[in-house]
Amino acid sequence: MRRTLPLLLLPLLLAGCEWVADPLSFTRDEVPRYKARTEHPAPVANPTSLKVMAWNVKYGACRIDFWFDFWGDRVQMSETEVTDCLTRVAALIREYDPDILMAEEIEVDSKRSAYIDQVRFLLENTNLRYAAYMSTWNSRYVPSEGVGRIDLGNAIFSRYPILKAERIRQEDRTDQDPLTSTFYIKRAIGRAEVDVGNGRTIAAYVVHTEAYDQDGTKQRQIQQIHDVLRAETLPWVIGGDFNELPPVCDERAAAGTPESCVGKLRLSGFMDERESSEGTEFEQPPYTPSVMKRFYDDFEPSISLARYGVGEENQRPFFTHSVLGPDSRNDQGVPGTWNRTLDYLFIRKGEVWTDTDVIQGPGRLGVQSDASRLSDHAPVAGTWRLP
């Protein structure tokens, strides 16, 4: 069980001249941009297409089981553990060699990941030459479980120059007490303008929506993301962890109706959910795939619903998430395996994807690294034909 400080301590924690936890009280603001110090190969000049990847990299932990997953008890990692994991993550990225990478759950200067600047690490150890970091959780001290100093967020990497980068604040949860809310993640949409040459600029977006809310926050965040994309004037691509299932069906439909999810899409009872999480703040809320329908109606997904199919056997090649890794077993003795889809890539309606896939393991899109041992999410990748 997660342990938190008594609410009475809140005034003491916030009484100093600086915030213990940055409230991130912005609406839209610019964020730090990075440039690789290492000389990387130059990208194709004036490209007609871009290889794109979205990947939740689990803060460089690979398959270490943490306390909030309910399969382990780890809180901190050693520098060796983080460096070893990031080295293997970078190797997979180099194998696919994207022009644009959207990375979620990436950390800089966090105690649990040995204070390693993971944005800088990936920038220096892949062929990506530029990056922008969008912090969503910046606390000098998180009291719960002794997490300590943390700076977590999302990042956009590019082989082409990033001209501008910003984060757009998303709605906070309303179902938490004031102390928990103070030290909790403040979600944001990341946006970067990328110069791809010949006077052309594209917009790249990265997102990571709420996972454990019980008040509809995630659904409102997904709607905001949709609205932001509809207002974008540049050619754009978005990637990220939406924490939501594909809209194969409507979870509100009654059994026996054409829209029912029965036999079409698993909504609960996933093999990596532990009974001990029930009743805690990390219990998986009900999924609502219907909120993703507008994305499939209005935009072009890298994996269409027709390709995704109906039923687990058809959908399994496109699953992107599993809390348990292949070397761990659930309470029934079943090894961890990808068991649901939460991660996506989209472009504007009418534009074209080619060579798209989920890099679940060796052999997908020419990659030989085993992504199932590198994060609890699989990379989603494809080639975007520029308009």
pLDDT digits (tens, 9 = 90+) for 251-262: 999 999 999 999
| pLDDT reported for residue 20 | 73
Give the pLDDT of residue 275. 85
What pLDDT score does 146 carry? 67
Q: What is the pLDDT of residue 271?
A: 95
Least confident of 32-36, 145-149, 366-370: 145-149
Using CA atoms in the order 118, 121, 127, 130, what is the torsion angle rounded to 10 degrees?
Answer: 60
1: confidence class by pLDDT, cuts 50, 70, 90: very low
Phi, psi angle pair for 233, to nearest 5°: -95, -20
Q: What type of residue sits at position 204?
A: A
| DSSP alpha helix (H) spans, 161-275 | 178-182, 217-231
Question: What is the mean pLDDT of the segment spanning 55-80?
Answer: 92
pLDDT for the residue numbered 4 = 40
Average pLDDT, the chain: 93
- In tens, the pLDDT along 273-306 reads 988 888 888 889 999 999 999 999 999 999 999 9
Q: Where do the DSSP E strands lie in the chain?
A: 28-30, 33-35, 49-56, 100-107, 130-142, 148-158, 162-169, 188-197, 200-208, 236-241, 299-301, 343-348, 352-358, 380-385
Between residues 26 and 190, which one has the greater pLDDT? 190
Strand pairing class (188-197; 200-208): antiparallel
How far from chain centre, in Å, is Cα 280? 22
pLDDT confidence of residue 378: 98
pLDDT at 144: 65
Structure tokens at 39: 């000389």
Q: So what's the pLDDT on residue 145?
A: 61
Confidence band, pLDDT 50/70/90 cuts, at residue 91? very high
So what's the pLDDT on residue 3?
A: 37
Q: Judge whether residue 142 has pLDDT over 80.
A: no
Return all residues near 145 (Cβ < 8 A) that are at least 6 apart. 2, 3, 67, 68, 75
| Res 11 pLDDT > 50 | no
Residue 152 confidence (pLDDT): 96
Token pair 């690789």: residue:
36
Provide the pLDDT for residue 29: 96
pLDDT band at 18 (very low <50, low <70, confident <90, very high): low
End-to-end CA distance of the chain: 50
Contact criterion met (CB below 8 Å) for 51 and 383: yes
Q: What percent of the chain has pLDDT over 90?
A: 83
3-state helix, strand, coil in the chain (%, to 5): 25, 30, 50
Q: What is the pLDDT of residues 147-206, one digit of tens each?
A: 789 999 999 999 999 999 999 999 999 999 888 888 889 999 999 999 999 999 999 999
Of residues 179, 192, 184, the one with CA closest to residue 210: 184
Local confidence band at 2 (pLDDT 50, 70, 90 cut-offs):
very low
Residue 182 confidence (pLDDT): 82
| More confident of the two residues 109 and 140 | 109
With CA atoms as reference, report the closest residue to 40 among 83, 105, 98.
98
Band of pLDDT at residue 228, cut at 50, 70 and 90: very high
